[in-house]
């Protein structure tokens, strides 16, 4: 399964320069859930999403963080993780194209920034849903570059779908 950039933009409300997902490589629900006919929100628990984002040298954020030594800010990496994690809901809401997503990042726990992220890096973002309570989701996320861990965090977000 590959979800390209145009479909990413259909699903997420974010736009450049604050869209930090180029594509989604795969969405996997936990074993046994994939075979259900009707899903519930709790079915995303244990599910994983694999996304991609390539940092671009001309992204405006690099001009100020930091001139002459551009590094992707940790808060942007966390936002990237949160954006990718929301795609687990694409499986739960097969009619997502008829809905509008309201999403808010509410909290971050145990974040670690292990290596700097520079322009022109091809990143893979892996998220795993740990907990769901109503519209609130907690996801454990990791950003990789060529198999190396760049950063990781646990993110809490509120995600709701409403009629368009």
Distance (Å, whole) CA 145 – CA 147: 5
Q: Please state whether the peptide bond connecting residue 60 to the residue before it is cis, i.e. omega within 30 degrees of 0.
A: no
CA distance 2 to 20: 16
Is 14 catalytic? The answer is no
Q: Locate 128 and state its tokens.
A: 């795993």
Of 59, 65, 113, 131, catalytic: 65
**Structure letter (DSSP) for residue 3:** B
* CA end-to-end distance (rounded Å), the chain: 26
Strands (E) across 11-147 are located at 23-28, 48-54, 99-113, 122-133, 136-145
Residue positions annotated with a catalytic role:
65
């Amino acid at each position: 399964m590959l979800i390209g950039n145009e479909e990413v933009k259909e699903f997420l409300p974010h736009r450049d320069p604050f869209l930090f997902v180029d594509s989604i490589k795969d969405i996997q629900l936990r074993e046994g859930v994939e075979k259900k006919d009707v899903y519930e929100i709790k079915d995303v628990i244990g599910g994983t999403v694999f996304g991609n984002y390539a940092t671009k040298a001309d992204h405006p954020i690099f001009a100020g963080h930091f001139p002459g030594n551009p590094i992707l800010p940790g808060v942007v990496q966390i936002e990237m993780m949160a954006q990718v994690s929301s795609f687990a809901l694409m499986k739960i809401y097969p009619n997502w194209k008829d809905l509008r997503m309201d999403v808010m990042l509410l909290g971050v726990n145990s974040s670690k920034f292990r290596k700097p992220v520079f322009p022109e890096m091809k990143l893979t973002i892996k998220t795993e849903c740990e907990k769901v309570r109503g519209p609130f989701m907690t996801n454990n996320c990791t950003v990789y570059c060529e198999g190396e861990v760049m950063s990781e965090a646990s993110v809490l977000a509120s995600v709701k779908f409403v009629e368009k």
